[in-house]
Amino acid sequence: MTDDYTDELRSEQTYVEGLYTRLDAERTAAKTHYRAALRGNGATLLDRDAEVRTLGKRVQRLDIADNGLCFGRLDSETGEHTYIGRIGLFDEASEFEPLLLDWRAPAARPFYTATAATPEHMRRRRQFHVGDRSVLDFTDEVFGRPGAGERGDAALLAALDAPRGPGMRDIVATIQAEQDRIIRLDHQGVVVIEGGPGTGKTVVALHRVAYLLYTQRERMERHGVLVVGPNPAFLHHIGRVLPSLGETNVVFMTTGDLMPGLHVTAEDTPEAARSKGSREILDVLAAAIADRRRLPADPIPIELSDTTVRLDAEIVGWAADEARASGLPHNTARATFLEVLTWALTERALSRIGRGWLSRNDRDAWENLRADLRAELADNAHFTKVVHDLWPILTPETLLSELLGSRDRLRAAGADPALWRERGDAWTVSDVPLLDELVDLLGPDTPPDDRAERARDAETEYAAGVFDVLVAREDMMDDEDHLFATDLLYAEDLAERFLERDTRAVAERAAADRDWTYRHIVVDEAQELSEMDWRVLMRRCPSHSFTVVGDLAQRRSPAGATSWATMLEPYVPGRWAYRSLTVNYRTPAEIMAVAAAVLADFAPEVGPPDSVRACGVRPWSRQVTADDMPSAIEQFVREEAEHVGTSVVIGPEGVPGAVPPAQTKGLEYDAVLVVEPERILAEGPRGAAELYVALTRATQRLGVLHREPLPRALAGLA
């Protein structure tokens, strides 16, 4: 280590210490303002809540920024230094003098995009290796000086070679140029990011969300962001990336969670999944609803106090036609159906009761009699039951469970017989979009009533006034730390009794509300989503602002995408952008060569991504007997426990200790053992895609255990 390097390192450490001093000062000020906001300062309740939320987020972002606050420096051709970090910090004496530039700011972009060929007026890029609050070392890349000896990819390679932990890490310090172009892409609609295993498409999508929240915070933050992933393990794996970047208004879900109150993980047979995932299932749902409405085979007598009227197929058919013509959902249209029936029966009863003693000129008497008859019909239990039988109130769960559990109902609705199952309400992931669709097709199962809403508004206004009085009392106290316990209890009681304020964070409220609309949605492993899944998501985001991440070559779902256009054109015709990632940052070249042979066998038209590095360890295979398989797996687990990092055993269903390939999508491990690849492949094209997924999870070491001879595609391992 040269004296010049040591002096530079000491200088950088001094500067970073100053940044932390400024960060600590801002955090102290933010917490002081936060505590003051909690006390109210004379503001109204709503204003206080808004200020508390804003300051709370500010404190949280400042706390998160403590880890790896500054990770690099840009030197311009004119000699100016710009430090790049997780957040922006400004000089205390001047709000316009940046001490640290947020990585998302436009001026920070050359840190990720400048090269020797296109330096973007930059002279040097310096990347820090930091620990706690210290700069441990740094690497320089000097632009325009061939042969200078600096390695600009040192930070990237160090990050790639580092052992994997339990969750995905952000790449804010090592974003590459092709990734940065996608992160900052100025496109308001749907952006599709396709890339093979290890290309970083997921983490790029998450950093794009952080960038959008930074540049469009006012527009996006109030409605939040939804991230949809393939399984809970994947969501747990990526769950810390956005919070580590200071963004918390994010909801993480699988497609099985999209209906509040349901958490579904079971899968259908391929035939049932394919049928349920197609848009053609909409015709089945419509027919299933229509099948629940019926005409009476014979006239139905309705006894009133002064006469009996008959409800026949002609009247019911007319009422049903009027209800359908209203265009309203089934349950809502029932009001039209009931109104027509009531009118028709009232007129029939009027003509019988009034015959002989009421003339055409007795208008008041006619109207009074008509009102009495309508009231009597409304209270007639038999009429109410008949209406329910002819046009029943339906819930999504009841309709779908009774449809799927009845061969007769499926046949009547023109559905695929493969949809039948013994327990109709044994929900699968493919049922969730059908249930969601039925919410709109059926409408609410209770009549609207705005009286409760008006009462809540009045109670809110009253309670807010009482809270303002309490705050004023607190402000008049000599010692602000001595608010009486009775006052606190009184305020809490009022909140419970009079005020139904929702104090949950945006993410919590959004996750619990089926009708919540998000400002942006990220869909990972999007090739697995069906046409019906896309209908759900498009309803959740009316602005159609999406970041879509996937790899068509890894598709395993029979209802998934065979092309992006098929899924997206119905919603954003000609208005979606496609970008691809071609560099594999996860899988070393030695392992990718094995996986590429499998890819070439089942998808020869798709080229594998180029690995950016080699690990120096060749993948291995070993043939064992059924009796020796458990001990061989145990040996792998035991040996890997001696290494730093993570490992996993991936295999088909039924292998003890093995995780199915589908459950590892999007995840990465230092070491992977693939068990019985021949059984995985036996599932056909779906199995080949799953084997490809399994082989590309490793970042360092890959082993294969097999009982039968290796499949042809893995012959290179023999």
- Whether the Cβ atoms of residue 295 and residue 311 lie closer than 8 Å to each other: no
pLDDT tens readout for residues 364-414: 777 888 899 999 999 999 999 999 999 999 999 999 999 999 999 999 999
Least confident interval from 150-159, 243-252, 362-371, 698-707:
150-159
Which pLDDT belongs to residue 677? 95
Cα gap 700→304, rounded to integer Å: 83
Cα gap 687→184, rounded to integer Å: 36
CATH superfamily of 190-259+516-581: P-loop containing nucleotide triphosphate hydrolases (3.40.50.300)
Which pLDDT belongs to residue 482? 39
**Is a pLDDT exceeding 50 seen at residue 495?**
no
**Is a pLDDT exceeding 70 seen at residue 691?**
yes
Residues 6+ apart with CB under 8 A from 684: none
Bridge partners (DSSP) listed for residue 497? none
Cα gap 587→90, rounded to integer Å: 40
pLDDT tens readout for residues 198-218: 888 988 998 898 889 888 887
Residue with tokens 């035991």: 638
**Apex 152 CA angle, 183 and 158, nearest 5:** 80
Which pLDDT belongs to residue 462? 44
Listed by start position, the domains of the chain span 1-165, 190-259+516-581, 295-390, 589-717
Angle between helices 451-476 and 485-498 (to 10 degrees): 170
Which residues fall in the annotated binding site for ATP?
Answer: 195-202
Cα gap 640→649, rounded to integer Å: 11
pLDDT tens readout for residues 71-108: 889 999 888 999 998 889 998 777 678 999 998 899 98
Helix (H) or strand (E) holding 620: strand 620-623
Which pLDDT belongs to residue 365? 75
Torsion sign (Cα): 672, 673, 678, 684: negative
Least confident interval from 18-32, 108-122, 144-158, 187-201:
144-158
Instruction: Tell me the percentage of the chain whose pLDDT exceeds 70.
Output: 84
Which pLDDT belongs to residue 164? 53
pLDDT tens readout for residues 512-556: 899 999 999 999 999 999 999 999 999 999 999 999 999 998 898
pLDDT tens readout for residues 617-666: 999 999 999 999 999 999 999 999 998 889 999 999 888 889 999 889 88
Which pLDDT belongs to residue 639? 93
Q: For the chain, how many residues are written?
A: 718
Which pLDDT belongs to residue 217? 80
* Confidence grade of residue 293 (pLDDT, cut at 50, 70, 90): very high
Q: Is residue 130 classed as helix, strand or coil in its secondary structure?
A: strand
Identify which of 622, 597, 619, 623 has the alpha carbon closest to the alpha carbon of residue 608: 597
* 3-state per-residue secondary structure call for 511-544: HHCCCCCCCEEEECCHHHCCHHHHHHHHHHCCCC
Residue with tokens 């007997």: 625
DSSP state of 499: -
Cα gap 585→498, rounded to integer Å: 56
Instruction: For residue 229, report the phi and psi dihedrals to the nearest 5 degrees.
Output: -125, 175
pLDDT tens readout for residues 546-598: 999 999 988 989 999 999 999 999 999 999 999 999 888 888 999 999 999 99
Which pLDDT belongs to residue 354? 62
- Reading phi first (left if > 0) and then psi (alpha if -120 to 50, else beta), residue 701 is in beta
- Whether the Cβ atoms of residue 168 and residue 237 lie closer than 8 Å to each other: yes
Section 490-501 average pLDDT: 42
> Residue 179 is encoded by which pair of tokens?
């990734």
Which pLDDT belongs to residue 221? 76
Identify which of 288, 23, 194, 309 has the alpha carbon closest to the alpha carbon of residue 564: 194
Which pLDDT belongs to residue 718? 62
Per-residue exposure over 26-38, b if at least 16 CB sit within 10 Å of its own CB, e if not:
bbeebbebbeebe
Of 369 and 320, the one with more pLDDT:
320
Which residues fall in the annotated binding site?
Answer: 195-202
Section 117-144 average pLDDT: 85
Cα gap 421→401, rounded to integer Å: 9
- Whether the Cβ atoms of residue 257 and residue 227 lie closer than 8 Å to each other: no
> Residue 692 is encoded by which pair of tokens?
């490809």
> Residue 426 is encoded by which pair of tokens?
């044994």
Which pLDDT belongs to residue 318? 96
Number of H helices, E strands in the chain: 27, 20
**Is a pLDDT exceeding 50 seen at residue 708?**
yes
> Residue 66 is encoded by which pair of tokens?
């403590």
Least confident interval from 184-193, 481-490, 683-692:
481-490
Of 125 and 357, the one with more pLDDT:
125
Do 589-717 and 190-259+516-581 have the same topology in CATH?
Answer: yes
Least confident interval from 178-192, 308-322, 378-392, 601-615:
601-615
- What value does the mean pLDDT of the chain take? 84
Which pLDDT belongs to residue 355? 62
Cα gap 497→485, rounded to integer Å: 18
- Whether the Cβ atoms of residue 464 and residue 46 lie closer than 8 Å to each other: yes
Bridge partners (DSSP) listed for residue 522? 227, 547
- Whether the Cβ atoms of residue 697 and residue 672 lie closer than 8 Å to each other: yes
> Residue 476 is encoded by which pair of tokens?
């008049």
Least confident interval from 18-22, 126-130, 502-506:
502-506
Cα gap 195→549, rounded to integer Å: 8
- Whether the Cβ atoms of residue 241 and residue 203 lie closer than 8 Å to each other: yes
Range from 86-90, 298-302, 444-448 that averages highest in pLDDT: 298-302
Section 97-121 average pLDDT: 85
Helix (H) or strand (E) holding 622: strand 620-623
Residues 6+ apart with CB under 8 A from 237: 166, 167, 168, 666, 667
Class (C level, CATH) for 589-717 = alpha beta
DSSP state of 618: -
* Confidence grade of residue 470 (pLDDT, cut at 50, 70, 90): very low
> Residue 392 is encoded by which pair of tokens?
């029943």
Which pLDDT belongs to residue 172? 64
Which pLDDT belongs to residue 525? 94
DSSP state of 429: G
Cα gap 697→667, rounded to integer Å: 6
Identify which of 255, 273, 281 has the alpha carbon closest to the alpha carbon of residue 441: 281
**Is a pLDDT exceeding 60 seen at residue 496?**
no
Residue type, 511: A
C-alpha pair distances (Å), 422 with each of 266, 353, 403, 406, 416? 15, 53, 11, 8, 15
Which pLDDT belongs to residue 206? 87
Which pLDDT belongs to residue 67? 81
Which pLDDT belongs to residue 522? 96
Identify which of 508, 713, 705 has the alpha carbon closest to the alpha carbon of residue 626: 705
Q: Is residue 414 classed as helix, strand or coil in its secondary structure?
A: coil
Estimate to the nearest angstrom the gap between the alpha carbon of 93 and the chain centroid: 42
* Confidence grade of residue 491 (pLDDT, cut at 50, 70, 90): very low
Least confident interval from 40-44, 277-281, 317-321, 444-448:
40-44
Cα gap 701→642, rounded to integer Å: 14
Cα gap 708→558, rounded to integer Å: 27
DSSP state of 300: E
Section 10-16 average pLDDT: 94
Cα gap 142→144, rounded to integer Å: 7
Which pLDDT belongs to residue 466? 44
**Is a pLDDT exceeding 90 seen at residue 14?**
yes
C-alpha pair distances (Å), 572 with each of 201, 274, 540, 707? 22, 23, 15, 49
Identify which of 199, 18, 45, 102 has the alpha carbon closest to the alpha carbon of residue 610: 199
Estimate to the nearest angstrom the gap between the alpha carbon of 348 and the chain centroid: 56
